[in-house]
Structure 1
Amino acid sequence: MDVDFTFRKPIDVSVILSTLLDAGMRSSTEGREVAYLVDEDGMFEWRTAAEYQLNEVMRELGDPRWNDRVVGMTLFFAEAETGGDFLFHPGRESMSCVVGINPKLFQGSSRFCDIGWYLANLVPLLEPLGLSEIEARDSP
């Protein structure tokens, strides 16, 4: 399942990540490594860093020199064992949440994600930051 978020103007990656983390999302589970992406060459090679390096990683992802590249971080939702990759696209007017870690399924379904649950957790955080459009899809 993935959700694409579009904003009225370019967003600051560090601000978005801080907002999500301040709301209780986690960058790792049980003190494990932080997974992040700076797509320098189009190969989407993910990197890891120790959890204590989170602030350094966030500064790197927010560095303006990467504005024409995809950057991202894996985050886990508060009080849930579900998570996904938060990808920030070139130009920084859009980002995606690609849920791939223990997807929360729609009640009564054996394969479709509860898109509403994810939107209920993300939209209130992103709307004050200029969110203007949402597109969600699930193709199990």
Structure 2
Amino acid sequence: MSRSADIDFTFRSPVTAALLVRALAACGWSPEEPRGISYAVQDADGDLEWVSVPPHGVGNVLDALDAPHRQGQRTGLSLYHREAGTGGLLLLYPGRLSLSFSPTIHRRSYGAAEELTDIPWYLGQLLPPLFAVGLQGYQAQDMAD
């Protein structure tokens, strides 16, 4: 049996990938993960096309994700917390009022129940910086597939 976990966030006003990266960097998060920087833009068919680039390309990646013509599309960016050794995928939705985070890189499990994701840890790391940039609310789930 596999599991999936995600946290959906809603904001008072639109956010950008650059704003999120700056805010989350203060708490140890970075778009640089073990494989470089992975990001996704929506292709002509509406699918997300994931690409990896070297770490020095972060400025170009953020520019691509925040380009005006992308505001009506889904985009994605991997985030990694080097000190904790964990990370995941951040998906920004059209209009940029909502986004999701899925812990997919060395997912932290909950101590008392190893099969569950340690959602409280992720919330503790993500809520303070996101609140500072206009977080309105969130919904978290960990489900067996």
- What TM-score, normalized to structure 2? 0.89
Q: Which runs of 5+ in 2 are unaligned?
A: none
CA contact (8 A) 2:87 2:103 kept: yes
**Percent identity over the alignment?**
32
**Which aligned pairs between 1:9-24 and structure 2 lie closer than 5 A?**
9-24=13-28
Aligned to 1:49: 53
Alignment of 1:31-110 (within 5 A): 32-41=35-44, 42-110=46-114
| Aligned match for 1:25, one of 22, 26, 29 | 29
**Match for 1:93: what amino acid?**
L
In structure 2, how many angstroms separate the alpha carbons of the residues matched to 1:22 and 1:110? 29
Question: 1:93: Cα distance to partner?
Answer: 0.2
Q: Which residue of 2 aligns with 1:135?
A: 139
SS of equivalent residue, structure 1 residue 138: strand
State yes or no: 1:5 paired with 2:48.
Answer: no
Secondary structure of 1:97's counterpart equals: strand
Name the CA distance, whole Å, in 1 between partners of 2:58 and 2:112: 37
Whichever structure has more strand as a proportion of its residues is 2
Structure 1 contact 40–69 (Cα < 8 Å) conserved: no
User: Structure 1: which 5+ runs fail to align?
Assistant: none
**1:3-42 superposed Cα distances (whole Å, 9 cap, x missing partner):** 0000011112211122223432132345x42100011332
How many positions carry a matched residue from both structures?
139
Tell me how far 1:118 sits from its aligned partner: 0.3
Aligned-partner SS, 2:115: coil
**1:117 to 2:121 alignment:** yes
Structural RMSD (CA) = 1.4
Amino acid of the structure 2 residue aligned with 1:40: D
Equivalent position SS for 2:20: helix
Deviation of 1:51 (Å)? 0.8
| TM-score normalised by the chain length of structure 1 | 0.92
